[in-house]
Structure 1
Amino acid sequence: MTTPPPSSVDEATDGEAAGSEVPARRSWVPVLVRWLQRVVVALVGATLGVLLLGRVEAPIGPFDATVAFTPAISGGAELEIPPLGALAVDAYDGPLRLDVQLRRVDQVRAQALATDPAQLDGVVDRVSADLRTAVEQLAWTTGAAALGGAALFSVIALRRTREPFIAVGLATVLLAGTAGLGVATWRPEALSQPTYTGLLVNANSLIGSAQDIVARYDAYRASLEDLVSNVSTLYSAVSTLPDPAATGDSVTLLHVSDLHLNPAGADLVGQVVAQFGVDGVLDTGDVVDWGSPAENQTFGWIGALGVPYVYIRGNHDSAVTAAAVAAQPNAVVLDDTGTTVDGISVVGAPDPRFTPDKDAEGATQTLEETGQELVDYIGTLDDPPSIALVHDPKQAPPLDGVVPLVLAGHTHEREVSVLEDGTRLMVEGSTGGAGLRGLQGEDPTPLSCTVLYLDPATGELTAYDEITLGGLGQSEVTIERTYVEPLPTGDGEEPAPTDQPVQGPALPTP
């Protein structure tokens, strides 16, 4: 028997071993490819499910919101406030970003909040609770959408009976890993360092300005209290000037405008009414800033004046504002209508705009058209009125030559002019100093109002006192009397010229 050489046996053994390793290695390749395929299918299906169904509609405070998870590289959360922009918070890492979009304000919830100040105490807690509930609901919805999407896509892509179950298992692992990564990387300190986009880029500076305004307002109103207290002293000095009517008998009306919810402006009105013996107040609008029910609860000072208060709506005043003013026992709201104050006939037309409502739809009358409508109303009267009230001076041109005196506001700058056909247009500044916005500049907007003296027989304007309270840094009260008609001086002397101003005293802050 012949024995093969040892070298031949060794070579054969080595060949058999090498041949057995190749099939073993090749048998693992299909398995690996198949599982990679399953992972990809589960991931794609879960992502599609999240994109299509991973969102909920939920109330968050007074807002209706959409809350959703969106595939993203860096995770985090984003709050969208159309059309102002968005703010993003890098609060956690992961493949899903939490998106909250405020779609609209629910009128019923917002009105309940505005009309019940007690609800404001817990509004932050309620918003937090609403958001937490929405996120919990979203988590369950997103999980179900991801699992369902993975199972359905595996049926379509792989077409094997057991694949949907495998896809659900893989998607569960992916969701658990995503949640675990989010918890592990949670950064609560990031909530105080949001990134702003769109118009909200200026949010930091605006918030800073608002805080600064509030701080300045405390000092501002403290100084105004001293200034308003000087009105009585001021009136004593003015009373020594020549009598406006030269007869000792005048109807005295106070023109105010653009109070913008400034309590100091209301204080000024009360002081002037009391000290100057005012027979009635004529308000040419913008008594508030937003026309909200909460603002409209502050009109008790109007009823406490004790004299007629004639008002037209400004572009910041809502129909609700007008109704709240009309509810005061001494107030009359004019809307292409007229009234009489101590024998003086007054008509008025509101501003057709409502500035706070950015979503107002439908055609809006032009300012000049509203002036013409007031002219049409005047045409129905037996006698033309003595005074017409409008909010914006651009409403006045159609009234030129129809009424002798038109009172307006809106611009926050006092101006007196005579129109082409002889009508006098008196634009008041801001009796409320433009509200808190008046504190934004280097010098706050001064508070101003005008006392009008009219002939009771003819209704003609004979003189007016322009009262100005300087803002912060302008610590004085000034008054300037202007005579509209020539004053008889006696002894054959020439009368004083028409519209001659006589400067009253300037009183510094005590």
Structure 2
Amino acid sequence: MVRALSARLLRRYRSHHSAPTSTLAHAPHPWARGFGLVVVVLFGAWLGLLVVGDVRAPVGPVDTTMTLRPSFDGGTKINVSPLGALELDSHVAPIRLDVDVDQLDAERASALVNHPERISGLQEQITGDVVDGTLDLAVRSCVAVVAGATALGLAVYRRPRRALAAGGLALALLTASGITAYATWNPKSVLEPKFSGLLSSAPSVVGDARNIVAEFDVYQQELARLVTNVTKLYDATSTLPAYQPSPTTMRVLHVSDIHLNPASWHIIGSLVEQYDIDAIIDSGDTMDHGSAAENVFLDPIPDLGAPYIWVRGNHDSAATQAYMSRLKNVHVLDHGDAVTVADGLRVAGIGDPQFTPDRSVAPQGDAGERVAGVQLAAALRDQKAAGTPVDIAVAHNPVAAAETDGEVPLALAGHTHERRTEVMKRGTRLMVEGSTGGGGLRAVEKDDPQKIRASLLYLDRDTRRLQAWDEITLGGLGLSTAEVSRRLPDENSPDARPAEPSAPPSR
């Protein structure tokens, strides 16, 4: 009897102690449970935003759809289908604001055209519309995020308490993201937009550089101008104003390294027309071998619609230069010679001292380029001493152009097929352009052709100083789409101290 009682007690002891041990052995680690909850919250929040997290809101004369999207970089993207999109580095947070311009409301647009006095109040109207739309979006997004995370948590865990925890965590994450976006909000991002879309739409969307610098008083004004430009693009009526560059801004197109790509002339002609270019500067390597047979390739230049300033590259021969000098509206620069175009812009340049297709001559390398650069710098000093200072110096090779540091405000070059810009030690800004020919006809031999690049320089018409520039990039051999990125010199940023007024240089 005692033995039977002992066996019963032993079984009861094991039943009370073995089950919890088994449960503990299979219980997940707290870190694993936390990670799983975070995954559920993020996925549920994303689903919520995807399903119901957008707002249709009128902004001035256009109807828009505003949406919050998960993102690693944040920012704002304004889609103007089918013309393209503007990307702004407006904030740094794990959420991005997408604004889709759905359509132009013909009635509201016509009201602006028929009653021009209403345009003066457009910025207040747009500001109010954006604030209302943003608040509505914030509330709807909170509901969508919490509902999505809670619903998914309930489906996964089947416990109301865990589901509510998922919803609470989702709300906390969205609140933290909103605070981060507010803390990092950068209204200056509208000064350097990146446009992707149809090339002909870029000027109207990005706007005029001089106006952007001058009108940066409040963000609302820039927002109003941006929406006004979008309105122009849709052309609701033929009486809507077209893009008009500021008369105080001079526009210079910098191209380089065309390398016999015939498509380059169509691209340059389009840019001249769309941006109302005052002058074109070509920093060389227009040819590939410099042969006389290639000269016919240059014949479209006189019809591009703007003065064409050219310096010889290492792929351009003396015969190429002689042919260029006979073309109408073309200014060939060499030996530091200077020319005045576009109502006072003075440009000096020097040809590349090397002609690399000629294998019978040993290349001089950087040493020869520096000698040419020194010669150009000496010519710049002579021009300054004569009372006719030069505004822009041009050489094909950046090594030569770098020798002009301190002698001229701006120096242009090419050769490397890579775009870059820097302010050198003595204050001269050196701008090196990529290949406007996408590496030339040889690019078709590669699976991934080089991109086609050009830059539009905005200069003050009185001082001839650089105000801003647009970096224009086309996909290799793709001529219908482009990226346009606005850049501002540090001295022209809204935070820069204004320079002391000075009289324009004598000419």
TM-score (norm 1): 0.49
Q: TM-score normalised to the size of structure 2?
A: 0.49
- Give the number of the structure whose alpha-carbon radius of gyration is greater: 1
